[in-house]
Chains A and B, each alone.
Chain A
Amino acid sequence: MATYIGRRLVLLPIVAFGVTVLIFALLQFLAPEMRAAAFITNPNQLNALPAIIQKYGLDKPVHIQYVNWLREVFLRGNLGWSQTARQPVRQAIGSFFPATLELTMYSFIPIMIIGVWLGTAAAVHRDKAIDHVSRVFSISFRSLPSFVWGLLILMILYGRLNWFPPGRLSLEQDLFVRSGQFHFYTHVMTIDALLNGELWIFLDAVRHLAGPVLTLTMISIALLVRITRSSMLEVLRQDYVRTARAKGLDEPVVINVHARKNALIPVITLSSLTFVGLLGGVVITETIFNFPGIGRWGAFAANQLDIPGVTGFAMFVAALTVLGNLAADILYAYFDPRVRLQ
C-alpha cells in the first residue's frame, strides 16, 4: 500500500508539469502580437505592441520561454504575474481558492445526503414509482445545461424573490469584514464568521452560497444516485442479505445495517472523485453567480489569454485532481476488506 501511494505521489509533479508543457505547446499557435495584446487595457496604446513583445520576450522560441519560466518557478518560486487577477499567480490561487473550497464543501453535503438517500430508495423500491421518479429527475438534471439552471435560479430566487443575491457577501457585511474588526482564520467565510462569533455575517454568507450550491448540487447529483443505486442493487442480491432476510429480520434493519454499509464502499470512493468533479463544475456556476472563486478566474484568464494565470490555475487543479484520485484509492483500500488483506 505504501509503495502504491508513493508511486501515485511521484506522479503528482509529473502530471503538474505535463500540464504546463501542454499549455506552452498550445502557445505555438499564438502570434506574439496576440499575446502582447493581452497586456493592453486601452486600445489607444496599440502602437506599443512591438515594445511589449520585446519587453516580455514574447517573440522568443517557445522552448526558450518555457525554460525561462521553469527557472523562475524553481529558483525563485515565482509563478508569474496574472494580468486578469491583477496580482501574482501564487497569491491569486491563495486568495481565490478558499471561496471555491467553501462552495464545493457546501455542495458536497447535499449531493452526498440526497444522492445516497435517493439511490438507496430507488434500489430498494426497484421499478416502483420512486425508482422511476428518481431516475427521471436525475437524468433531467443531467441533461439541462448548467448555465440555464444557474440563470433560472438567479432569476427566480434573486430577481423575483430577492432571497439569494449573487456575490459572496452583501455590502454592509462586506465592509464590516474588511474593516479590520474581523479576523480571517481560514478565509472560508462561514467558518471565519462563526469563529469570530458574528452570526449575521454567517447568515449573509449562507444566503450568498445558496444559489450556486443549489446549481452545483443539481448538476452533480445524478451520477451519485446512479452509482448508489447500482451498488445497492448488487449488494441486495448478495447471500448475506438474503440470509438476513431469511432469518426474518425487519426490512429496515436489513437495508440500513447490512446492505447499505457495504453498498457505500464504492460511494465513498466516488465521493473524493465527486469533489474533484465539482472543481470543473464551478467554472460556469461561479461565473453566473459572480462568486469570487478559482473557477471564474480560470475561465476568465483562459478567455483573456492570461498565460501565467492559466498555467498556474491548471497546475493547481491538476495537483488537486491527482490528490483526489489518490484519496479515492486509499479510501477504497481502507473500506474494502478484500483489498486491505492483500
Chain B
Amino acid sequence: MGLLSAAVRGVQVNRTRLLPLAGIVAACFAAALVLPATRDRVLRYPLAIAEFILLALFVIAFWTIPSDFTRRMRRNPLSVAGFSIIVLFVAIAALAPILAPPPATSRDAYLIPQEGFSSDPKPPQVRHPFGTTEGQYDIYYGIIWGTRTAFRVSITVIAISVVIGLFLGGISGYYGGRLDEIIMRLTDVFLAFPGLVLAVVVVAVLGRSLDNVMIAIAIVNWPVYARLLRGDILGIRSRDFVEAARALGGNDFRIIFRHIIPNAIYPFLVFGSLDVGLIVLTAAALSFLGLGAEVGYADWGMLINLSRNWILGAPGNPFAYWYVVIFPGAAIFLFVLGWNLLGDAFRDILDPRLRGSS
C-alpha cells in the first residue's frame, strides 16, 4: 500500500514531466484502436491492456520518485539503458496476446504454433517475421511468449530461493551455535557443486520439464540467499531494537519476523534482482543440454536448443540459418544485459565505498 501511494504521489509531483509520456502512450492506444488491423486484437484482450497500463504507471511512478537512489539511477546512462530494456520486456510480456495472438484453435497460448513439420528452418517472411526454426515453429511467437516464461522462471526461482534462504538463513543467523554450524556446512555442500552440474542431476532425476528446471535452479541458488541473510542478521541481532524486543520477552518467532527480517530484506531483494540474469542463463544452458522445457513450449532456451543443429549454418554458407540463433540469442542477451546493467548500477549506488565520488 505504501508503495502504491508513493507511486501516486510520484505521479502528482512530476506531472509536468509526465505529460508528454502519457501523451505518447495515449496516442499509441488511440492509433491501435483506430487501425482496423490492430483494433480486433486490442479489443479481444482488454485484460492484457489493463495489465500493461498498470505496469506502465508503476514503472513511471518508480522512475519519478524523488529520492537519492532514483536520482543517481537517472544520472547513470548504463542504468537508464538497463532500465529501459527491462521496461521493454515487461511491456512485451504484458502485451503478448496482442503482439502475437494465439491461434483460435490453440489449447494453451504457450504452445508455439507450427506451420508444417519439416525440420529445415525457413527464413523470415511476412507470415513469420523472424522465420521458423526446426519443426516449423514460429520464432517471433516463441520470443514474444517466451518473455513471459523468462519472467515466470526467474520470479519463481527467486521466490523459492528466498523462502528457503529466509527460513534456513534466519534460523542460522538468529540462533547461531551448533544449528548455525550445521546449516552453514549444508550450504558448503551445495556450493561445492558446480551449479550447472547439480542442476543437470536434479533435472535428470526428476524428469525433463520447465517446472523441474525451476526447482533445480532454486536448489542450486538458495544457499547464497541463506548466507546473505545470515550475515545481515548477525549484524542486526546485536542492535538495540532487537535487544529491546528480547528484553521485553518477545518470542523468537515474533522477533525474527517482526524485527529481523524486515530490516534485513532490502539488500536481499536487491540481490535477487541481480540474480535474474544468471537464472535465465542457467535455464538456457539446461535447455541447451536437452533438459529444458518441452519442445514447442514458448521458451527462449527451447528455441536455442532447436537451433543447435543449425547454428553452424550450411556448408559454404556458415550464416545460412542466422535467424534461428540470432533472434532467440538476442532475446536472452538483451534480457540478461538489462538486468546486469541494472544490477551493476544498483551495486555502484549501494556500495558505500564508492559513494560520493562520482
Report if A and B touch in the complex (beta carbons < 8 A).
yes
Q: Which residues of A does B touch, CB under 8 Å?
A: 11, 14-16, 18-19, 21-23, 26-27, 29-30, 127, 132, 135-136, 139-140, 142-148, 151, 154-156, 159-160, 226, 230, 233-234, 237, 279-280, 283-284, 287, 295, 298-299, 302-305, 310, 313-314, 317-318, 321-322
**Cross-interface CB contact of B351 among A230, A295, A305, cutoff 8 Å:** A230
Query: At the interface, yes or no: B228 with Cβ under 8 Å from chain A?
Result: no
> Could you write out 17 A-B pairs with CB less than 8 Å apart?
A11-B188, A14-B185, A14-B188, A15-B188, A22-B193, A144-B329, A144-B333, A147-B284, A151-B311, A226-B344, A233-B354, A237-B357, A280-B195, A314-B197, A317-B192, A318-B193, A322-B188
A18-B189, A26-B202, A156-B318 known; A142+B340 contact, CB < 8 A: yes
B341: interface (CB < 8 Å): yes
Select one of A29, A148, A280, A310 contacting B196, CB under 8 A: A280
Q: Is the CB of B340 within 8 A of A303?
A: no
Known: A18-B188, A22-B190, A318-B189. A143 touches B277 (CB 8 A): yes
How many residues from B make CB contacts under 8 Å with A?
A: 48
B312 touches A154 (CB 8 A): yes
Q: Which of B140-198 contact A (CB under 8 A)?
A: 185-186, 188-198
> Which of B38-46, B245-253, B265-273, B286-294 forms part of the interface with chain A?
B286-294
Whether a CB of chain A sits under 8 angstroms from the CB of B313 is yes
Residues of B within 8 A of A151 (CB): 308, 311-312, 325
Main secondary structure of the interface of B (DSSP, over half): helix
Tell me, in angstroms, the Cα distance from A156 to B322 when the chains sit together: 13
10 closest Cβ contacts across the A-B interface? A280-B194, A18-B189, A318-B192, A143-B337, A302-B200, A143-B336, A321-B192, A302-B201, A151-B311, A147-B288
The listed residue (A15, A143, A317) touching B333 by CB distance below 8 A is A143
> Is B285 on the interface with A (CB-CB < 8 A)?
yes
CB closest residue in chain A, given B194: A280
Task: Give B302-337 as 1s and 0s: 1 = Cβ < 8 Å from A's Cβ atoms.
Answer: 001000100111000010000001000100110011
**Which residues of A sit under 8 angstroms from B291, Cβ to Cβ?**
303
- Determine if B202 and A283 form an interchain contact, defined as CB atoms under 8 angstroms apart: no
Residue of A nearest to B341 (CB): A139
CA distance A300 to B20 in the complex (A): 56
In the complex with contacts A11-B185, A154-B312, A298-B197, A160-B192 CB distance below 8 A? no
* Minimal Cβ-Cβ distance residue in B for A20: B189
CA gap between A230 and B352 in the complex, in Å: 12
Q: How far is the CB of A286 from chain B (nearest CB, A)?
A: 12
Closest to B277 in A: A143
Across-interface contacts of B313 in A (CB, < 8 A): 155, 159
A127 to B196, CA, bound (A): 35
Smallest CB–CB gap between B346 and chain A, Å? Answer: 13
Chain A residues within an 8 Å CB radius of B336: 142-144
Q: Name the B residues within 8 Å of A279 (CB-CB).
A: 194
Report A171 CB to chain B, min CB distance, Å: 21
CB of A49, distance to nearest CB on chain B (Å): 18
A284 & B189 in contact (Cβ 8 Å cutoff): no
Q: Is the CB of A284 within 8 A of B340?
A: no
Q: Are A159 and B318 in contact (CB under 8 A)?
A: yes
CB distance from A89 to the nearest CB of B (A): 15
B354 contacts A19, CB within 8 Å? no
Instruction: Give bound CA distance, A136 to B190, whole Å.
Output: 32
Q: Which residues of the partner chain A approach B289 to less than 8 Å between Cβ atoms?
A: 284, 287, 299, 303
Chain B nearest CB from A308 CB (Å) reads 13
- B204 on interface, CB distance cutoff 8 Å: yes
Most B-side CB within 10 Å, residue of A16, A127, A148, A284 = A148
Interchain nearest-CB distance for A311 vs B (Å): 10
With a cutoff of 8 Å between Cβ atoms, the chain A residues found around residue B111 in the complex are none
Q: Which of A16, A26, A144, A317 contacts B205 (CB 8 A)?
A: A26
A299 touches B189 (CB 8 A): no
Cβ-defined contact, A299 with B188, below 8 A = no
* Assembly CA distance A180 to B313 (angstroms): 39
